[in-house]
Structure 1
């Protein structure tokens, strides 16, 4: 579990964000590649070639298909491996659902504090962090549970507040991510059937959106601040990106888990004296009985962090 950052650390992050783009239109225009992702600036060809070979070897060793997009914020360097391929999104959608809701209702303090009723029929699976004693939750509680704990019930309630999964698709498209789509709520979003384009995105799109939302203020300063607040305190990274980092660092991320062995993690890493790194690692397999290999994401993170 990641500790909440100190005020001095937040000041540093705020300076990074202030230097970014301030409107979705300007942000989309700043990225000219298709899909929307920053063009690499003078990449270290030899290092990237070795990184590509290492990830390909990891795929062969684990029988897991891996998609990676890494964006270094200040230099606009990028590394992509299967960056334009579609992968099941799973619970990564919860970040974008919360971001869309903050963008739409962020300054309505009464709305965020007002309890909204839900019923036993809304509960996905057997557990939820929302209060089943009162059967009410505020939008603040929904977003916190959906992002920090990947609570599926909370994720669906966010979608209900937005008007359905299509609102997440519209939000992503409004920011310039053209290959991200959400079609279904939990738990169907996690089916991850090979070849099914529903509820999918690309590593390029996910990295682009997270850099835009968490650093460049592409959906507004408040959206950036609220998403950072929730994602910096994420509890589900475990053996994924979190396991591949060496302290000191700060990590704001969101994970996903689905059928066919899908394990995802994506977020932003801040390290003292270094530029921010946005990292999206998505996986898939063709086997319904494939195990969830969390360690693959930690291994990929170690490779990226060493570049």
Structure 2
């Protein structure tokens, strides 16, 4: 009996773990776990970087539209916050909640030839939300869970993520570096040249206009915030056309989006180059609808009839 008891104790000592052995094993497991976790860090940061880049690209499209979106004829589809409101967003919340100073998207009409019948119709205003959230998401954050910055820099409009470290303090290595997408004004503004013609009553060919006396040539242009407004409404602007020379007038730095224009000759009785109430329209063109596309200057030719 004594021998059996001795062998049993020996077996217990041979198969059990001492406290020191247990501590060593746990230490080894901790080291291995740390190495495994650290080996996954670059993969996690790469995924966060790619998610951030996608977000910034989405914010660009929300602002100035998708440059690759085309109509069947190949013309770019102009959309986004700028096209709808005629302005740039000031905060990220502008994409998801209508700013107090902007009108809601709606059709607006105008009487361009002053005959008491509206003949121009365009739509503008805030038409958000411009950013769509994924399941369980309610705020705009980058891959590291931080809010991107809106950064107007030297005329360029930027969205910036401050990377994995959440700041812009140098040194900025690898995933710590800031990630930005820049939108220079050429991406959302363009110039439009308007050329005014008269029509020869005999031959039906184009000729230069010949205003006489107090008659003045001009173009009525309808664009979002076109007369200096900030509400996102369509506004009428009078562009005077010189009575000699090229019979052209330009609108520079026009925000991209829908537009309409009508050439006319009127009796400018107060000689202020503006079509005022009570001044008679002598002759006008048809209403021309067109799209101003950022970075693409265009030309509109109009015939007084």
Fold-level match, TM-score > 0.5? no
Higher strand share: 2
TM range (shorter): under 0.3
TM-score normalised to structure 2 length: 0.21
Structure having the higher Rg: 2
Q: Which has the higher helix share?
A: 1
